[in-house]
Every structure is written in C-alpha cells, then in structure tokens.
Structure 1
Amino acid sequence: MRPGHHLRRVSAVVVATLVTAVCVPPAASVQAASAGAQQAPAGRDRHFAVTWAASADRQGAGPAERSYRLVVRTSVGGNALRIRLTNAFGDHPVTFASAYAGLQRQGAELIGGSNRRLTFGGQPSATVPAGETVLSDPLPGKVTAQSNLVVSLYVTGAQGPTTGHGMAMQTSYATAGDHAAEEAATSWTDPISSWYWLDAVSVETSTTISSVVTLGDSITDGWASTSDANRRWPCYLSRRLQAAPDSSVKGVANAGISGNKVLADGAGQAALRRLDRDVLSHPGVRTVFVLEGINDIKAHTGVTVDDLVAGYREVIDRVHAAGRCVVGATVLPYKGWSEYDAAGEAVRQGVNDWIRHGGAFDAVVDLDRITRSPYDPQAILPFFDGGDHLHPNDKGMQAMADAVDLSVLGCDR
C-alpha cells in the first residue's frame, strides 16, 4: 500500500559482518536452474534454505552497460551461497556479464578481499530470457547470519522494462560500465533505493534448519520503518529467531510488495498469482506467514468478506499442497487513513473474525489486537503509528514481531 507519493528513501548503510573463505578451491559447477527447477539437495543431512528474498515487479526501463551494487541482509547463516536473478517482467533477454558477492564495509565500499566472482553453470556470465530466472553456482565459504551481503552485477543488453523490487528501504548503488569486481566505492556514484534483478539468496545448511516466508503488502515491505536499519517487522522476527535456541526456523524471506492485494493485480501481481514464484519456489521453506488484505478492503472495489475468505482459502490450500504450514495474521486497523470508511471497516472486522475463528490457518497471530488503540480499536495505537494511521513505525514493527509465538513457525505437515 502506498501513500499518495511513492518516495524513494536514501541514507547511510550499515556495516555488516559476513565471513567467507577467500582462498578456497573453486566449487564444482552446478547447472543454473529456473525457479521451477530447484537445486538438488546437498546431501542427506544438508539442503539449501532461503536467507533473503525480495518480491519482484515490473520496473521502468533500465539502461544497458550498467553495474548495480545491491546491499541485502542475510537471515540464516550457512555455506555455499547461491543467488537467484530474475527477468520475470522483462520483454527482452538480459545478460549478466559478471556477478560478484562480497561484504559491505560502509556505503558502496566492500571489505578488502571479500568480493568473489559468481558463476552460472560454470560460466562467468548468464543470459536470461524474458520471463525466466537463473541460479548461480554455489560459492564456497561460510555466510554468517545477520550480515550485509553485497551482490554486484554488470548488466548488458537490457531493453524495455526491468525486473526488480521498487521499495527496498535500503540504499544500493549503480554506475555506468563494468565495476562489479571492484571493492572500492570510488566508481559507485549513484545511490538507488530499489533492488534490480536479484530476488533471492540461499545458503546450504542442515536439513533441521528451515525458513519462513512473510507474504504481505507495504506493512511487511517496511514502509514507515527506518531506511538502512533493517527495522521491517520481518527483520525483527529474524533477529528473534536467530536468538532462539529452541527454534529450528532461522531463515526469513520477505515477500512483501507495497500496495499489493490478495485478489487483484496492481502494485505487483496479486498474492494469488505470485504465490508460486515469490513464496513456494524458495528452498527450505517450512512456513508461510500471511499478512495481507487491507489494500483489497480500502480500495472500495466492492470486495466482500466472502471474497477475501475465498482468496485466503486458496492460499492455504496451495501452501498445504506444497507441504508447508501457513500462519495467518489479522488485518491491522486503519482509521484515519484517507480511504477509511465504515463499510471497509465492517469488511475488516468480518475478515478478522474469520481469521481468528475459522480454523483454516495452522495458527493465527492477532496483530490487530497488538497494534490497535485500546481507546479507539478501529485506529492504530498512536505510539505505533508511522504518521499516516496505517503503517506502523519502528516500535510498531518490533511489537508485531514480538507478538509472534515462535513455536507456531515450526509446525509439521
């Protein structure tokens, strides 16, 4: 969901700690694969688990012969890092002429000796047709949890619309020419506030470790949280999971898109249309956490409680069919937002009643109860209000993450 003007936020980035073995033998080549053909298990007691993700949408035209330095935050640690590059919304093939993964020191500067070349089916470059994705080969070395990973891409042949995540809430960088291999910040002159082409990072870890994907809209995407500080509610959840010795769920993949709806396309494809690509295609996922519906409700398109319930049921059925668990969250209050009215509020209350008592989700987290004002239950608690009466601020984001009973994320099916 987007305030009237979609602002791009740019500020200083945070130094991260990721440990990799720089002087190690090259990995055996693994054939690059599309999202629909996941990598083979690493071994009987090892598998890949997603450690970071951002749902892609159609973006504006991207200039050719340009490099992108994309800063992302890992959740679960592991080995043998792999990235996924997507041309899902492109109209033409795009070539990733070179790709590197390194560690952020500050801004666009990398820690010396950390930047290493990624390969695709043993080759240093990959051309991805329109509508397709590609996985990199595993990169030897250890990836630590809660680290700022930097993926640098040199992109050629880009024509027409690009594929990326518009509202990153994280400063990345771009520049003309091929500078992907460089560790200095000198050439990286253009700060950007979106992630382009990169939509997932996974690591090899024990089969006892798994990930959760948070499917949502701008509240999950992090609107109104502090940029470059990893204060989206899934980020707070990730830190809780890392600190929880009894939780086997350690990875968190954020599948929020600002303005997204459950039922209708608009800001990104509807949740029902993007579920396979943005959620179920990721490796090592045990649980899907669903917090969506407010954009369907406040759009005044005549969406009813029954309409949204049918949409939720389809999500639940498809997640269950894929062997994963699904947790549902109640829809947050929005009184004071410009589109608020009594009719929409009635739908929200009906939807929340079904989420709480319908018994369709494997578990429910009542985020409406956590974030609403005790004096005006249709409105968000002022202490949690990011300023527009719809999006929680940093404190609200943390309260949402703290409300999750971590044990419900480790359910079995």
Structure 2
Amino acid sequence: MSARFGRLRRVLAVLLTAVACQSPPAVRAAAPPGPAARASGVVTWAASADRMGEGTAGQGYRLVVHTSVGGSDLRVRFTNAFGDRPLTLDGVYAGLRARGAALRPGSNRPLTFGGARTVTVPAGAVAWSDPLPGRIPAGTDLVVSLHTPDAAGPATGHWMAMQTSYTGRGGHTAEESGANWTQTTGSWWYIDSVAVRPSRAARGAVVALGDSITDGWHSTTDLDRRWPDYLARRLHAAGAPVQGVADEGISGNQVLADGAGQAALHRLDRDVLSQPGVRTVFLFEGVNDIKAHTGVTAAELVDGYREIARRAHAAGVCVVAATVAPFKGWPEWDPAAEAVRQEVNRFLRGSPDFDAVTDFDRVLRSPYDPERILPFFDGGDHLHPDDKGMQAMADAVDLDSLDCAR
C-alpha cells in the first residue's frame, strides 16, 4: 500500500467516524450471548460488534485476523447481533495466510456447525463453529472466508479494522488462491471472536475494553501495532498464564452513552464477559465522554467505572483500569474538560474498586506540558499515539496484574 493511499484511507476513516458519532445505530443489538453460547478454550482474537450498514447477497468475505495465543480446536464466533432477520452463511473456511488474499497451501479447511456446512444465525444472535482439529500458531494471520448467499438488512461487524481484508462475488471460499478476491475492505464482517484450546501454560485472556486508541487509530495499518498487539507479544514472550488478548476498542466509543457503538456499559456482557477464558478486563475509556461536551461530570464517569468493575467482579473477572491520556491540542479540548480528566485520574489512581491501575497518562504525557501527549508519541492529532506510543503503553502494563487472585 502506498503512503498516499494509506493517508487517503485515514482521512476517509475520520470522516466516517465523525458521522457515526453523530448518529446512533438504528438497530439495537439483542441480548448478549449467555453462558450456553460461550465456547470452550481461550479467545485468541476478537473485535467489538456494531452495525455496518446493509448486507449484500452473494458477497464473499476473506477476513484476515491476527492470533494472540496459539492452540488447537479452533472455533470462530459469527455474529448477527445487529441484524433484523436471520443470516445464512455457507462455504465457511479457515486457513493461514501466505500473502495478500492467498493462503498457505493445504491450510484452508471447512468450518462446520453441528456437523453442517451451512449455518443460519437468528437476528440478534451469535453462532460458534465446531472445533477444527489441528494447531493454530500464536502471532499468525488467520483467514476466515465466508459467503452470504441472501444477506439483506443491517449487517454486523467491526468497521475500523486497521487491517486489509478481501471481498469477491460468488462462492470461492474453498480456494487457496487469491485470484478471485480482487476487492479490499478495511472492516471485519460477521465475525467477532476466535477461540483456541491453548497449552497448559496459557490458561486465560485479557480483554481490552476501549475506544479508538485501543482500536489502533494512528497505528500503522496491516502491521498489528495497536497497543493490545504489543501487549500480546509481551505476554507470549514471557510465557505468562494470561496470553489471549481480545481488542474490544471502538472508535468514538463512550463509557456512558451510545453513539459510536454501544456504550461500554451496554456492551460489556457481549464484548467482554462472554469471551472464552476471559481472566481480566483492561478498562481504558473515558476521553470521549469527557470531550463530548454533553455535561458529563467526573462523578458520573466514576459511577460508570464502578459499575463495570462490579459486574466484572461478579462474573469472577479481574479489572485493571487505566488513567485517561492527555489530549490538549485536540479541537474539543478545553480547561473544563481537562479539569474533569484530572479529577477522574485522581480517582483511578487511588480507587480500591480495581485490582490494578496502569497510568497511561504518566506514560504518554509531555514533561513540559502534562496536559499534552509527548510529541515523540503523538500520532499527529494530539489524542492518538503513534506506533511508538502504542508500544510504550503496552510496555507499561504490569503483566502480573493481568492474573489477579480472584
């Protein structure tokens, strides 16, 4: 991808994100999946579900996702959370990527659902595939190919993937060649989780619940340089018991209010607590609530954090919170918003509601103007870190804190 094309994609993404922030989804997701819908094993990849516009009949998707923990018995969760009618998927395959849309020879294998090659997912529901025998490595590009023969109505997926995937017309999902996958998409369609059965050394996962910083905005597209990606590599290198990493960031997302995706409070069960093997939720949200100028107070945001912690703890899940990073220079910054941010961060640093706290504010702020992000880490808009900032964030996480005694 040329630098010019990459910049064009980023500008387009900003414009579309702004629109998404102004208009809440027209279709609200149904109830999140319950315990019966949870797969065994540990989540190795995930992305938050949201409404994606209208589905396209006869469309094929070749979706590239990056694993965190390796293991056997791969299962994929397909989502129709925001659909208003049943969604049928056929010719569903999973394989390992070679390059572009092409797969490694011999790796592309069919996924089944109760032994069948086709699945129909009811409106508002999800469906897990059967376990796929064989081992999937950690830190590799997994490719899930699917076909939607009669899709219509609202589609479900994840808009800002920071990853190039591929589309094509017709049923070419079994092919390992990329010849019939000639169009690209920067989104993930109809999938929101992948799980594996890891070795005994890795027995859990951390789910990063966040906004566009967690989603990876201003990290380099296609290179897996979001801060959760860097964290996954640290966990794997350390042989930590928590090695699965699920990135549940949504650009523009808020803790309290729906808009750019459902609020963190409203998507906690589906995006976090339903994930296989979840051990810890890493909560890093709040800047969008603060800069939205809707009159949100620090006390209201604190109440939202406490509710997330209470619900996660009730489910037996640890909670690590992160301070809100500086954003002076962003158009919506003003002294009043900064005062709320500082008050929220004072609460986070001293609160007994969490099992641990990571001080991203301290990591990212400039020593010369602590209300600003350090220029060395600034992705250019004074809010989102670049690749170096993303790595610094991941390096600041105490790995032991992700496996608390709960």
Question: Which runs of 5 or more residues in structure 2 are unaligned?
Answer: 1-9, 17-31
Q: How does 1:178-193 map to 2 (within 5 A)?
A: 178-193=171-186
1:330 to 323, 337, 340: 323
What is the TM-score normalised by the length of structure 2?
0.92
Distance (Å, rounded) in 1 between the aligned partners of 2:379 and 2:297: 28
2:33 to 19, 28, 35: 35
8 Å CA contact 2:38–2:276 kept in 1: the answer is no
1:301 to 278, 285, 294: 294
Distance (Å, rounded) in 2 between the aligned partners of 1:120 and 1:159: 22
Is residue 210 of structure 1 aligned with residue 201 of structure 2? Answer: no
Q: How does 1:104-253 map to 2 (within 5 A)?
A: 104-206=97-199, 209-245=203-239, 247-253=240-246
Cα deviations across residues 227-278 of structure 1 (Å, max 9, x unaligned)?
Answer: 0000000000000000003x20110000100000000000000000000000
**Larger helix share, 1 or 2:** 2
- Letter of the structure 1 residue corresponding to residue 318 of structure 2: C
Distance (Å, rounded) in 2 between the aligned partners of 1:356 and 1:325: 17
Distance (Å, rounded) in 2 between the aligned partners of 1:307 and 1:37: 30
2:93 to 89, 100, 123: 100
Aligned-partner SS, 1:355: helix
8 Å CA contact 1:59–1:163 kept in 2: the answer is yes
8 Å CA contact 2:358–2:396 kept in 1: the answer is yes
- CA shift for structure 1 position 91: 1.3
1:6 to 13, 33, 42: 13
Q: How does 1:15-94 map to 2 (within 5 A)?
A: 35-38=33-36, 47-94=40-87
Distance (Å, rounded) in 2 between the aligned partners of 1:36 and 1:49: 16
Change (3 A) 1:7 1:188: farther
Aligned residues: 381
- Letter of the structure 2 residue corresponding to residue 229 of structure 1: L
Aligned-pair identity (%):
63
Distance (Å, rounded) in 2 between the aligned partners of 1:338 and 1:73: 33
2:383 alignment counterpart: 390
1:13 alignment counterpart: none
Cα deviations across residues 65-108 of structure 1 (Å, max 9, x unaligned)?
Answer: 11100000000111000000000001111100120000100000
Distance (Å, rounded) in 1 between the aligned partners of 2:114 and 2:389: 44
- CA shift for structure 1 position 206: 4.5
Aligned-partner SS, 1:287: strand
Distance (Å, rounded) in 2 between the aligned partners of 1:149 and 1:37: 26
Distance (Å, rounded) in 2 between the aligned partners of 1:38 and 1:182: 33
Change (3 A) 1:346 1:410: same
Is residue 285 of structure 1 aligned with residue 278 of structure 2? Answer: yes
Is residue 315 of structure 1 aligned with residue 308 of structure 2? Answer: yes
- CA shift for structure 1 position 412: 1.9
Change (3 A) 1:310 1:348: same
Cα deviations across residues 115-166 of structure 1 (Å, max 9, x unaligned)?
Answer: 0000001100100111010000000000110010000001122111100100
Aligned-partner SS, 2:337: helix
8 Å CA contact 1:91–1:159 kept in 2: the answer is no
Distance (Å, rounded) in 2 between the aligned partners of 1:312 and 1:93: 35
What is the TM-score normalised by the length of structure 1?
0.90
Distance (Å, rounded) in 1 between the aligned partners of 2:14 and 2:402: 33
Question: Which runs of 5 or more residues in structure 1 are unaligned?
Answer: 10-33, 42-46
- Letter of the structure 2 residue corresponding to residue 354 of structure 1: F
Cα deviations across residues 31-81 of structure 1 (Å, max 9, x unaligned)?
Answer: xxx93244688xxxxx50000000010011121011100000000111000
